[in-house]
Amino acid sequence: MIMNIRWIGVWLVLVMMSCQPSAHKKGVSPLTLLGSWELIAAETTEGGETINTFVPGRKMIKIINPYHFSFVNHDVNKGRDSLAYFAAGAGNYTLDGQTYTEQLEFCTARAWEGHTFKFELEIKGDTLIQQGVEENKALGVDRYIVETYIRTK
């Protein structure tokens, strides 16, 4: 009876592991990606020009669970000044090694819904660096972004 319980436990662990996003090869462990991340730096390269796109006075959080991601970005003055801003989005993702691919299903900027974005990830301690191409032909957007996040609690 005890032996059967152990085999059931092993079987359950294997089943749970198979339900995780794509098994990682060489790269980011799915477990280290899970959690809440706050944007601390961002830059965009478009048309050969790189600019800092991190906006002081705004706060952005990205939350990643085993199957979905979401983000919210808003001004820290609660919409009371010229920096009033709010954006949010969510969808599912896959992780294959260092390649993280988001399928954006919901977004306050509706023209971005239904798009897929492929990024390369690097995690160093509590720092997540995400970089890749953001493209939306309908909006004429084709840019390379680098975003740096820190883990939040």
Quick: pLDDT tens for 46-86.
999 999 999 999 999 999 999 999 999 999 998 888 889 99
User: What is the phi/psi pair of residue 70, to 5°?
Assistant: -150, 160
Please give the CATH superfamily to which domain 22-152 belongs: Uncharacterised protein PF14869 family, DUF4488 (2.40.128.490)
d(CA 66, CA 34): 7
pLDDT band for 14, please (50, 70, 90 cuts): very low
pLDDT of 126-141, one tens digit each?
Answer: 999 999 999 999 999 9
Enter the tokens of residue 71.
Answer: 């983000």
d(CA 21, CA 96): 8
Checking if the pLDDT of 7 tops 80, the result is no
Weakest mean pLDDT among 19-28, 29-38, 63-72: 19-28
End-to-end CA distance of the chain: 42
Q: At 141, is the secondary structure helix, strand, or coil?
A: strand
Higher pLDDT, residue 15 or 67: 67
With contact defined as beta carbons under 8 Å apart, do 150 and 59 qualify? no
**Neighbouring C-alpha atoms within 13 Å toward the C-beta of 97:** 5
- Domain residues of the chain, as ranges? 22-152
pLDDT of 81-107, one tens digit each?
Answer: 888 999 999 999 999 999 999 999 999
d(CA 115, CA 141): 12
d(CA 57, CA 11): 49
Residue 37 confidence (pLDDT): 98
Rg of the Cα trace of the chain? 18
